[in-house]
Structure 1
Amino acid sequence: MVLGADDSLELEEVDDGDKALELVRENPFDIVLLDVRMPGRSGVEVCAAIKAISPTTGIIMLTASDDESDLYESIRSGASGYLLKDGSTYEQVAEAVRLVASGQSLISPSMATKLLDEFVQMSKSPAPATNLTPRELGVLRHVARGLSNREIAEELFISENTVKNHIRNILEKLQMKSRMEAAMYAVRSKLVDDVP
């Protein structure tokens, strides 16, 4: 209802995962809201399929599932947001859409705690070095610190489009699907000293 009241947004609604994927194939969207559990394909499967055909589409999981494995699978599949239906107001969902559209990520606070616990575990076994350029490493460090594309552009004196290109290259080189997954990688690899 909140999203529908905003005339600047073009909305489409479907009732299962297969229809959602079909709709995105026909017309890639800026943002897609999915549930983890849907009729047809699961939200996680649809998320991965959408990212494969439309890598720039932002995906927010809006779900009742507080299962940490659903959170991790959603992030691995390319989700940029994970909100719990029980703990989110309509206004928070609308704000999440705006944040993800601007290149940021958002997770419900209770789920963020679980994600931070996973960071701690992952930091104990760093991943191998990659072939990222020095500029890409700099962008990745800023992503891990939670900066938006605009903030990264201002910090590095480059355009937002250049930041988007670097992030796309980083995700491709690391074989990852979302900036959140790349941020987790940066922390695990100890590329960012001031992030726990």
Structure 2
Amino acid sequence: MTIILSSPVPGVMIRWETLLKGHCKIKKALSIEQLRSLCGNRQFDVILLHRMLIDISSFRTLRSAFPAARFFLLTDHPDEEEALAFLRLGIVGYANTYIAAPRLLQALRVITEGGVWLGQKIIQRLITGVSNTLKPEDKKDQVPLLPANLTKSQRNIAERVARGQSNLEIAADLNITERTVKAHLTSIYEKTKTGNRLNLALLINLGKNPSG
């Protein structure tokens, strides 16, 4: 796996390089010009892009020039609205600049396998947004595309996830612990082959499974 590290801040570059050393091949870009040059070679898997290096307009231009590139945006001050704005432009990941090493490596695995890495609150907003776009008559006639081997409890939880409920809300409604909800979801993701909350919601709401 080859990762491009792109930040104007030397300390950030050193930190990222230290976290990833021994796990992947690293290329570095300290400016947009250097990044464009490396992107032109197309010999990389993911770009770790520091928010301090780029604004919305510049990213739109960069994304247009390299539509197949996977951009993982990291910011010193995560913000849901900012994340959604960049997500609409094509980023595949959004996280804190100082993300812990295990989480960073996990995120890179998810992204290189074709997934998207986002914070829980952002995922909840996306799920709620998808659910809200459905017309009332569509929701009434909707038949969730869930495998028959889900238990009644698992099906109930899956459908609540698709409506945008958080684990805490589901636990309160069903009078179970949040840990139990998480355990059920692990099994649900495996049985539905969705892998995560967003894909599960898309499967139920739109009949689409991005991971399948």
Normalised by the size of structure 1, how large is the TM-score? 0.53
1:49-106 deviation digits (Å, cap 9, x = unpaired) = 2464251x322111123222311122112111111235x3122111111110011111
Shift of 1:112: 2.7
Shift of 1:33: 0.9
Question: Are 2:91 and 1:76 equivalent residues in the alignment?
Answer: no
Counterpart-to-counterpart distance in 2, 1:12 and 1:65: 25
Question: Which structure 1 residue ranges, 5 or more long, are not aligned?
Answer: 126-143, 153-179
The DSSP-based 3-state class of the residue aligned with 1:107 is coil
Give the structure 2 partner of residue 99 of structure 1: 110
Aligned-pair RMSD on alpha carbons? 4.1
CA contact (8 A) 1:81 1:105 kept: yes
CA contact (8 A) 1:36 1:65 kept: no
Moved over 3 A (4+): 43-48, 113-125
Question: Are 2:24 and 1:24 equivalent residues in the alignment?
Answer: no
The DSSP-based 3-state class of the residue aligned with 2:28 is coil
Counterpart-to-counterpart distance in 1, 2:31 and 2:119: 24
Question: Are 2:59 and 1:42 equivalent residues in the alignment?
Answer: no
Q: Which has the higher helix share?
A: 2
- Give the length in aligned residue pairs: 138
Counterpart-to-counterpart distance in 2, 1:117 and 1:63: 24
CA contact (8 A) 1:33 1:61 kept: yes
Counterpart-to-counterpart distance in 2, 1:124 and 1:37: 40
Matches within 5 A, 1:4-153: 4-6=21-23, 9-38=24-53, 41-42=54-55, 45-46=58-59, 49-50=62-63, 52-55=65-68, 57-85=69-97, 88-123=99-134
The DSSP-based 3-state class of the residue aligned with 2:72 is strand
CA contact (8 A) 2:46 2:108 kept: yes
Question: Which structure 2 residue ranges, 5 or more long, are not aligned?
Answer: 1-17, 137-161, 163-188
Normalised by the size of structure 2, how large is the TM-score? 0.50
Higher Cα radius of gyration: 2
